[in-house]
Structure 1
Amino acid sequence: MRNTRTHTRRAALAATAVTAALVLAACGNDSSGQEGQSTSSASSASSSATAHNEQDMAFAQGMIPHHQQALEMAKLATDRASSAKVKDLASRIEKAQDPEIQTMNGWLKSWGQDMSSSMPGMDHSTDSGMPGMMGSNDMDHLEKMSGTDFDTMFLTMMTDHHKGAVAMATTEKNKGKYAPATSMADGIITAQTAEITEMNKLLGKN
């Protein structure tokens, strides 16, 4: 009788152990599957956040020289402008756009793209295909001016220049894929649209 009970108890314990093992194995598989899915999802999200397209590259390669020309114009205002408001505007343009140039150069480098088109000293031609870019004659003319005449020409040229930047940024915002680039584009639209309004007021326009 005792032997029978012993065998029954052993069988029950064995069955319990097998059941527990199966449950643990199942839990392990579920956990592993969830971890795999989480890793895959994180990888996908990371890839999506860093992905870029042709528009993003065109935006950086075009906006860098566009910004560089704005900086050239702004630097001329330091000793040529007569209006303190014009000098203040020029200073703000420098502070905003120089860091953006550095950021965009970083993007191009990380994407393995040629940055030669964004280097200083390029020919500022109206044939560049970028809206708002001034021709060499316009830049030479501005450099020779001073006082109120400089103020008027500077504001007129920079207004057109800003309108071109806003147009380029709008294209990036609508067609770009790289989140930091579309975010910068949005910032350019907001900031430079406000500065266009400011410059029109300084020019006496409504």
Structure 2
Amino acid sequence: MMRNSHLSATVLRRGLLAGAAVTVTLVLSACGGSDHPSGDTGTKHGATSSVSPAASAVGTFNDADVTFAQAMIPHHQQAVQMADLADGRAADAEVKELAGKIQAAQQPEIDTMTGWLTTLGEPAPEPHMSMGSGMDHGSMPGVMTDADMSKLMGAKGAAFDKHFLTMMISHHEGAIEMAETEVAQGSDPEAKALAQKIITDQQAEIATMKTILERL
């Protein structure tokens, strides 16, 4: 009885040792495999799959796309500033409504374009501390000068409404010109789609503003 127990213990111990040897062999094989070229391929594949969609999209932007965003951001910022002035100055209900629509449409577009530039590692224009300050007026069509903005700030009632509409029509026409350049020369589908949206939206707003001006 004791002999059989001793024999069973010996067999069990040998089995355990054999299992351990197999485990060590498997571990060593796995470690050795990491030096194999196929291991390198797996590592590279893992790195590629970790690239974010935003980083992948960077390659679709060309110089025209970057220029479009860097120029349209301050152009939009001034339109938002002009629209802000309508509060407490505008008399016509349609002018007030239009100013609200311009703010609601263009601020999200500013945020979108700023996000693109941040992803690309390109400088994004900062919000302007004063009306028209820091803008290169000669390079962006339709941008109001400081004198234009001061004139708008000093107007009220019907006079403000007329100044606002006249200036905003010119401002919109400039934005459309810039957007048309992006549609023609840009590369990124999302940037070109935004440019086309700006063209469509602002052409419609120009038509509305001209109608309002005719009755004022």
In the superposition, the TM-score normalised over structure 1's length comes to: 0.73
Amino acid at match of 2:121: G
2: distance between equivalents of 1:178 and 1:67?
A: 20
Unmatched segments (≥5 aa) in structure 2: 1-47, 49-54
Match for residue 8 of structure 1? none
Match for residue 144 of structure 1? 154
Relative to structure 1, the CA distance from residue 70 to residue 124 in structure 2 (aligned partners, 3 Å threshold; closer, same or farther) is farther
1: distance between equivalents of 2:183 and 2:106?
A: 18
Relative to structure 1, the CA distance from residue 108 to residue 204 in structure 2 (aligned partners, 3 Å threshold; closer, same or farther) is same
Corresponding position: 1:74 with 2:70: no
Question: Could you list the per-position Cα deviations for residues 141-198 of structure 1 after superposition, in whole angstroms to 9, with x for gaps in the alignment?
Answer: 1001100000000000000000000000000011001111100000000000000011
State the percentage of identical aligned residues. 45
Corresponding position: 1:167 with 2:167: no
Amino acid at match of 2:128: P
Give the length in aligned residue pairs: 161
1: distance between equivalents of 2:137 and 2:172?
A: 17
2: distance between equivalents of 1:136 and 1:124?
A: 10
Q: Which one has the bigger helix percentage?
A: 1
Question: Runs ≥4 in structure 1, deviation > 6 angstroms?
Answer: none
In the superposition, the TM-score normalised over structure 2's length comes to: 0.70
Relative to structure 1, the CA distance from residue 49 to residue 125 in structure 2 (aligned partners, 3 Å threshold; closer, same or farther) is closer
State which of 125, 130, 153 in structure 1 corresponds to 2:140: 130
Match for residue 177 of structure 1? 187
Question: Could you list the per-position Cα deviations for residues 104-156 of structure 1 after superposition, in whole angstroms to 9, with x for gaps in the alignment?
Answer: 000000000112x3432262656341000000000011001100000000000
Amino acid at match of 1:165: A
- Is 1:65–1:119's contact at 8 Å kept on the other side of the alignment? yes
